């Protein structure tokens, strides 16, 4: 440590010596320029005062520079803002000497004063920018080599400019920006940081081939999701590695750099715009409330916990049977919020009704988000009794405890698979919705929120595809015709919270999932995002539909069944009233069937009897023909109409 400090002190002294020489040289050069570079022609009336006051000027300049931290700059990283600060320091030091000197009778020709200031500005600032300048020149020369990355930058806005400056001095990137793409006609044909703006998105394919581009970087963090999706779809056709600056917050925080540029994620290809939340409604809903999240360690549950914590609840309780996940989210929230969040973790199963009662009696939650459930369709087809025990009776235990111990609002996470279910998992979730519908007269407000698949959630298709790609393939899909609706985990959690805030008795909320996504296209995009070519580097194999699987999930957004809410992405589905006596009778019959160890097919038959919309997957899948390219939306709508007629 002492050696480092000694080196720093020696470096500072050396720079101060250089500054003193520059101050002396600037004054002398100004006099020489004024008097035709003839030292003998300089009048003694100007030369003598300058020589006498030179030590004072040097001392004042060095003192001002030290106060202004002119000796603290890292020269290799000098920025435009640093240059402005340096210029103000030079001017301030110049004024700190010359203004009082002039008042005391020190006189020089005005041209000498002006030339002296210019020389000081050029030399004192120039020496501090020299290392960065030479590094940029060295980088430019190196990256003209054929073996470097050839980069196309998309976006000539402020984020693009900042990235270009970063790339110009980044030794860790062996490459150069060959061209910039921007849709603004006013920027096309111009240069940014020595990189030409060659056209809009229509020129991406042409310029990628012409410039032999190997990497594309998207620097359009403020662009709407739909616009990003359109550009990414074009970029994928180039075969180049595609990377992106994640979000506009990078600009706000000044974090636009190569470190912030990440590989494009499949979420970017959904083209979904950020959720606009009514923060005031959520604050009134959650602030100073005791909130319990069942399944709080899972994908949706943990994200709910992250989002809820932002609204300063009185206490947040994470309930989960899997301690590893619960521990992970507990530690994350403690790191983020510390003592500002009263956080409790309870390891328990929702199947244990007595334990659930004790926890509710102890914590007395005001709000419950119920995310605990078995969700894997094929596994629940093999073990329907487990789906019934966990999804139906586990949910019933939480519902009963919520009523018994005064919970104000209960929000259940449901699924699009509950719409005209063709599998046991979807049927159990629909049964739970029916329990909530029977609670219209309860003092607790019960509601459910339906949405489709969540990208990146535990056990979902995207992590599976990524793992298969990492292993060299093949990527397996059940059927090339399959279409699903997707949203991101944060989007789902945020919409669930807002739906819960606006919910009234026994309502079922439906989230707008956007456009359907063909799973085959999703697999191809993931392979391309990994820098590989589908069917060439990684094969895609069709392995057949799994038990209980639909070709298309039902369209949630059937306008004739929905009413709007204040949030354009949240709708309320109209539901028929269900008798509480009927539901209690059905629960008793299911309980007896479980106690008697009924065969799986008998249990499923009982669920079919209780849920009028439950159908065989083969019967439903036979209603649709294989889709043609680009017809996913139309096929999904036709499929839903056929299912409605069947039901």
CB atoms within 10 A of CB 378: 16
409 is a catalytic site residue: no
583-591 own/partner pairs: CB under 8 Å, 24+ apart: 583/434, 583/435, 583/438, 586/431, 586/610, 587/392, 587/393, 587/396, 587/435, 590/388, 590/392, 590/393, 591/393
Q: How far is CA 410 from CA 395, 437, 506, in A?
A: 11, 12, 10
Structure tokens at 277: 């939340």
Structure tokens at 80: 């435009």
**Degrees to nearest 5, angle at CA 352 with 350 and 353:** 90
Task: Extract the runs of DSSP E, i.e. beta strands, from 23-172.
Answer: 149-154
- Indicate the domain borders of the chain: 2-140, 143-264, 279-457+485-513+555-618
pLDDT at residue 61, rounded to an integer: 85
The residue behind tokens 């959650």 is: 286
Q: How far is CA 104 from CA 97, 98, 100, in A?
A: 11, 10, 6
The SS3 assignment for 371 reads coil
pLDDT in tens, 463-484: 788 888 888 889 998 888 888 8
- CATH number of the domain located at residue range(s) 143-264 in this protein: 3.40.50.720
* Residue 574 burial (C-beta neighbours within 10 Å; 0-12, 13-18, 19+): exposed
pLDDT in tens, 41-86: 788 788 887 888 888 888 888 888 888 877 776 665 566 677 788 8
For residue 433, give every residue at least 6 positions away whose Cβ sits within 8 Å of its Cβ, in sequence order, or none: 412, 414, 418, 448, 508
> Which of 187, 417, 439, 550 does the annotation list as catalytic?
417
Instruction: Report d(CA 239, CA 554) in Å as an integer.
Output: 34
Quickly name the fold that domain 279-457+485-513+555-618 has.
Rossmann fold (3.40.50)
Instruction: Report d(CA 552, CA 557) in Å as an integer.
Output: 14
Q: Do 143-264 and 279-457+485-513+555-618 have matching folds? A: yes
Structure tokens at 390: 């966990």
The reported pTM is: 0.65
pLDDT at residue 343, rounded to an integer: 96
pLDDT at residue 277, rounded to an integer: 66
Instruction: Report d(CA 97, CA 405) in Å as an integer.
Output: 78
The residue behind tokens 């699009």 is: 416
Give me the phi and psi of 220, to 5 degrees please: -130, 65
| Residues of the chain where predicted confidence (pLDDT) is lower than 70 | 1-7, 73-80, 131-148, 168-174, 246-278, 456-459, 553-560, 620, 623-647
613-629 b/e with 16+ CB inside 10 Å = b? bbbebeebbebbeebee
**Degrees to nearest 5, angle at CA 396 with 395 and 398:** 65
The residue behind tokens 């919409």 is: 495
Strands 315-320 and 290-294: parallel
Q: How far is CA 537 from CA 65, 214, 233, 472, 478, in A?
A: 60, 17, 20, 8, 20
- In DSSP terms, which residues pair with 485 in a beta bridge? none
């Amino acid at each position: 440590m002492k050696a480092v400090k000694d080196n720093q002190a020696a470096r500072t002294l050396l720079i101060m010596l250089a500054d003193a020489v520059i101050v002396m040289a600037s004054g002398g050069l100004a006099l020489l320029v004024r008097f035709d570079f003839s030292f003998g022609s300089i009048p003694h009336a100007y030369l003598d005062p300058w020589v006498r006051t030179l030590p004072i000027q040097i001392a004042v300049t060095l003192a001002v520079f030290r106060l202004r931290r002119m000796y603290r700059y890292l020269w290799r990283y000098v920025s435009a803002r640093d240059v402005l600060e340096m210029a103000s320091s030079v001017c301030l030091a110049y004024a700190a000497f010359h203004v009082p000197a002039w008042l005391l009778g020190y006189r020089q020709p005005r041209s000498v004063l002006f030339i002296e200031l210019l020389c000081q500005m050029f030399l004192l600032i120039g020496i501090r920018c020299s290392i960065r300048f030479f590094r940029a020149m060295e980088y430019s020369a190196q990256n003209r080599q054929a073996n470097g990355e050839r980069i196309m930058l998309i976006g000539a806005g402020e984020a693009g400019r900042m990235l270009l400056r970063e790339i110009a001095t980044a030794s860790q990137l062996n490459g150069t920006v060959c061209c910039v793409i921007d849709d603004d006609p006013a920027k096309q044909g111009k240069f940014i940081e020595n990189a030409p703006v060659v056209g809009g998105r229509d020129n991406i394919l042409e310029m990628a081939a012409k410039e032999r581009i190997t990497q594309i970087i998207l620097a359009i963090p403020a662009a709407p999701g739909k616009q990003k999706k359109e550009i990414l779809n074009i970029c994928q056709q180039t075969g180049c590695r595609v990377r992106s600056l994640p979000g506009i917050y990078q600009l706000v925080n000044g974090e636009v750099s190569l470190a912030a540029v990440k590989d494009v994620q499949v979420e970017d290809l959904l083209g979904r715009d950020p959720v606009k939340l009514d923060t005031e409604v959520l604050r009134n809903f959650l602030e100073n409330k005791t909130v319990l999240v069942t399944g709080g360690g899972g994908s949706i549950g943990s994200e709910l916990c992250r989002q809820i914590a932002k609204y300063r609840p009185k206490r947040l309780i994470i309930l989960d049977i899997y301690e590893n996940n619960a521990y992970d989210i507990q530690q994350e929230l403690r790191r983020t919020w510390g003592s500002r969040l009263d956080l409790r973790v309870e390891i328990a199963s929702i199947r244990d009704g007595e334990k659930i009662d004790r926890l509710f009696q102890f914590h007395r939650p005001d709000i419950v988000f119920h995310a605990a459930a078995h969700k894997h369709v094929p596994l629940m087809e093999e073990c329907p009794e487990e789906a019934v025990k966990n999804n139906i009776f586990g949910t019933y235990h939480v519902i009963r405890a919520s009523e018994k111990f005064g919970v104000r609002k209960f929000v259940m996470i449901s699924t699009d698979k509950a719409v005209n279910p063709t599998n046991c998992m979807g049927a159990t979730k629909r049964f739970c919705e029916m329990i909530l519908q029977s609670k219209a007269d309860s003092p607790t407000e019960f509601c459910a929120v339906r949405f489709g698949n969540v990208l990146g959630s535990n056990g979902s298709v995207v992590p599976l595809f990524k793992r298969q790609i990492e292993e060299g393939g093949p990527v397996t899909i059940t059927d090339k015709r399959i279409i699903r609706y997707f949203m991101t985990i944060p989007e789902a959690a945020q919409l669930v919270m807002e739906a819960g805030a606006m919910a009234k008795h026994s309502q079922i909320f439906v989230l707008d999932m956007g456009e359907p996504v063909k799973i085959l296209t999703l697999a191809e995009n993931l392979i391309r995002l990994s820098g590989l070519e589908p069917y060439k580097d990684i094969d895609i194999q069709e392995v057949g539909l799994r038990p209980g699987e639909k070709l298309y999930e039902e369209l949630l957004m059937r306008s004739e069944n929905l009413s709007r809410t204040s949030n354009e992405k949240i709708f309320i589905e109209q539901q028929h009233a269900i008798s509480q006596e009927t539901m209690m009778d059905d629960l008793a019959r299911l309980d007896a069937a479980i106690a008697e160890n009924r065969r799986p097919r008998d249990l499923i038959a009982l669920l079919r009897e209780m849920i009028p919309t439950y159908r065989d997957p083969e019967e439903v899948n036979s209603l649709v023909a294989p889709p043609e390219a680009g017809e996913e939306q139309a096929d999904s709508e036709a499929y839903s109409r056929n299912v409605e007629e069947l039901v």
